[in-house]
Amino acid sequence: MSYNYLKAAKKIVCIGRNYAAHIKELNSATPKQPFFFLKPSSSIVTPFDIRHKESKILPEDSSFHGLNEDGSNPGPIYIPKGVLVHHEVELAIVMDKYVSNAQPGDIKANDVFNYIKGISLAFDLTGRNVQFEAKKKGLPWSIAKGFDTFLPISHFIPKDQLIQDKENLQDAFRLVCKVNGSVRQDGDSSLMLNPLHKIIQVISTMVSLEPGDIILTGTPEGVGEVKIGDVISGELFYNGKQVVDMKFECKERPGPYEYRET
């Protein structure tokens, strides 16, 4: 299992509100066009499915100290004090080309295979109370998405393993999230409001995409809270075959941070 792809990511771009049922469950407005936000690379954490000898031991009270030489960062999810943390399971695509100012129609559904290196599975963890307060007051909500360990992500699946559906990757995936063994989210990529080719095209009109960039493509309905002591798992299926099964323990974040109203 390879995590080297994480070292090549210059940015992590996350599409918001891309499944209708998820929009409804949060009482949000349906966007007229795709919108996105960014997550920092310091939010990356990987499962304990490998423990290479070069894996770092975090300094005391640290919650991130760089990726290992192999790209991994095995660890738990850290829940900051006072933060209501929600899980959002998402298909991630990893870019293989520069894309800048693509016109509508330049990228079609059957082109996606040629634009990506491969895929992975991720959780876009969200500090929901932090986010809601920021939105209410018109403040930036980057921190709600960017806490350390708020991007649990799987090993890399190269596109040569997706050759069976290279002409229609859009309908090939199923995403599942479980908390303590109970299913919370279970959705198909075919339900995306904005398909993969449109996501790539629209992002490129505002922020040029580079090889190695990671795009999180939105979450299906069923988002909910994870707490200290929970075990959260993510599963990704390609044409019905499981290709990712990752698990994370949830622990209290070390350090002085505690959520207080801004």
Each residue of 180-212: pLDDT tens digit?
Answer: 999 999 999 999 999 999 999 999 999 999 999
* CATH code that applies to domain 4-49+60-252: 3.90.850.10
Q: Grade residue 53 by pLDDT with cuts at 50, 70 and 90.
A: very low
Each residue of 204-258: pLDDT tens digit?
Answer: 999 999 999 999 999 999 999 999 999 999 999 999 999 999 999 999 999 999 9
Give the per-residue pLDDT at 55: 56
Q: Grade residue 20 by pLDDT with cuts at 50, 70 and 90.
A: confident
Give the per-residue pLDDT at 25: 82
Q: Grade residue 26 by pLDDT with cuts at 50, 70 and 90.
A: confident
Q: Grade residue 28 by pLDDT with cuts at 50, 70 and 90.
A: confident
Give the per-residue pLDDT at 56: 61
Give the residue extent of every domain in the chain.
4-49+60-252
Burial class (CB in 10 A: 0-12, 13-18, 19+), 109: middle
Give the per-residue pLDDT at 105: 95
Q: Reply yes or no on whether the pLDDT at 34 is more than 90.
A: no
Highest mean pLDDT among 51-60, 63-72, 92-101: 92-101
Q: Grade residue 80 by pLDDT with cuts at 50, 70 and 90.
A: very high
- For tokens 């960014």, what's the residue? 38
pTM (2 d.p.): 0.95
Q: What share of the chain is helix, strand, coil (3-state, %, to 5)?
A: 20, 35, 45
Alpha-carbon distances of 228 from 55, 101, 149, 151, 179, rounded to whole Å: 24, 43, 13, 17, 12
Q: How many CB atoms lie within 10 A of CB 245?
A: 16
Q: Calculate the average pLDDT of the chain.
A: 93
β-bridge mates for residue 186, sequence order? 176
Structure tokens that stand for 182 in this block: 């109970």
Which residue pairs from 22-29 have beta carbons closer than 8 angstroms and sit at least 24 positions apart in sequence?
22/88, 22/218, 22/219, 22/220, 22/221, 22/222, 22/223, 24/221, 25/221, 25/222, 25/223, 26/223
Q: Grade residue 49 by pLDDT with cuts at 50, 70 and 90.
A: low
Minimal CA–CA distance to 255: which of 40, 80, 128?
A: 80
DSSP 46: B
DSSP 19: B
The average pLDDT across 128-138 equals 96
For residues 182 and 45, give the distance between their C-alpha atoms in angstroms, rounded to a whole number: 22
| DSSP SS3 for 3 | coil
